[in-house]
Amino acid sequence: MAVALVTGSGGLIGSEAVRHFAGLGLDVVGIDNDMRQEFFGAEASTAWNVRQLAADLGKAYSHHGIDIRDRAALSKIFKRYGRDIALVIHTAAQPSHDWAVRDPFTDFDVNAVGTLNILQNVREHCIETPVIHCSTNKVYGDRPNLLPYVELETRWELEPGHPYYDGITEDMSIDQCLHSVFGASKVAADVMVQEYGRYFGMRTALFRGGTLTGPAHSATELHGFLGYLMRANMEQRTYRMYGYKGKQVRDAIHSHDVVAAFEAFFRSPRSAAVYNLGGGRHSHTSMLEAFGLAEKITGKQMKTEYVAENRVGDHIWWVGSNAAFQADYPQWKQVYDVPMICQEIYEANVERWVPHS
């Protein structure tokens, strides 16, 4: 029996990973206690996704509603499956800048200590098993904001010829910049994943994601850019823009393309691998440009409100480079771009994201 253990299995990337690796013939063990509902409220609950996974996958999926901060409960699961665990995918996290400031202890305990708990259990019970960790581009703090951007009509942009024009690479420093509380907890997890790879010789990879997106996202205002933008348009909510004139740029990568990268690493793992993973130049948009796309897809006007002050540590522009990963795994190819992503989000939610009276 080969087992894939997925934390955050009810979330966007976690649920995509569950389906993908179950489809490859692995038994999947999911860990998710629906803490997203505690973070962001009932509309952000992942319980619906967990129910769907159980219904669709049957015996191929086993769910455990435990907290990754609970060392005793985690240890029982790892002891139960032991060396049958062929892959660990760690997606569980507190994902919001804003929420982290409200409760830094919980943010750090979930993001940093929870990751340590996973790593140590792998070390003790299945040390040869590849470990994939979902990190974030927020480990670079606000350093990307120091780049020499040019203001265009609908976006901020780098001049062609700039070293990072095709995407920011992993050589960007994470030091001496403002990270936000959330960014700092993710840095701690990021470095620990690298350290377990180097110090203990474990096969670890971390993927510093840009905007991870797709139709399985339980989108809410504080987390889930394209998903929430489409939801706001479809339900005719007022979408708040925070700073940068709404011209901030994000790359966006579909959960399908993320999990395809995970499979590539699983089949040929390395130690202490560090990769940026995002939409890159293939799939990116400014906020204003995404508004126009949503309006075109739904036929509804965006309702917006502008807040002049940007979120702490937020990026003016982020387009990540996938070159390092593609050099190591040339068979991996992106499929989705932003228009495809938004269209799919619309089609998947058109019956339930409707205006409230």
Per DSSP bridges, beta strands 85-90 and 3-7 are: parallel
Picking from 263, 353, 194, 329, the residue whose alpha carbon sits closest to that of residue 13 is: 263
Kindly state whether residue 336 falls inside one of the protein's structural domains: yes
Kindly state whether residue 210 falls inside one of the protein's structural domains: yes
Cα dihedral 127, 130, 136, 139 sign? positive
Please report the pLDDT score of residue 98 as a whole number.
82
Please report the pLDDT score of residue 230 as a whole number.
96
User: Please, are residues 220 and 43 in contact by the beta-carbon 8 Å criterion?
Assistant: yes
Predicted model pTM: 0.95
Domain of 181, CATH number, reads 3.40.50.720
Please report the pLDDT score of residue 42 as a whole number.
83
User: Please, are residues 273 and 324 in contact by the beta-carbon 8 Å criterion?
Assistant: no
Grouping H, G, I as helix, E, B as strand and the rest as coil, residue 27 is: strand
Q: What are phi and psi of 9, to 5 degrees?
A: -70, -15
Kindly state whether residue 88 falls inside one of the protein's structural domains: yes
Measure the CA–CA gap between 183 and 187, rounded to whole angstroms: 6
Taking 50 as the pLDDT cut, the residues of the chain under it are none
Kindly state whether residue 119 falls inside one of the protein's structural domains: yes
Please report the pLDDT score of residue 271 as a whole number.
98
- What is the span of the domain harbouring residue 247? 3-349
DSSP 8-state assignment for residue 351: T
Q: In sequence order, which ranges of the chain are alpha helices (DSSP H)?
A: 12-23, 35-40, 47-57, 71-81, 97-102, 104-108, 114-125, 180-200, 225-235, 255-267, 287-298, 323-328, 338-349
Kindly state whether residue 168 falls inside one of the protein's structural domains: yes
Which tokens in the block code for residue 292? 């126009």
Please report the pLDDT score of residue 222 as a whole number.
66
Kindly state whether residue 357 falls inside one of the protein's structural domains: no
Count structural domains, the chain.
Answer: 1
Kindly state whether residue 354 falls inside one of the protein's structural domains: no
Kindly state whether residue 100 falls inside one of the protein's structural domains: yes
Please report the pLDDT score of residue 357 as a whole number.
66
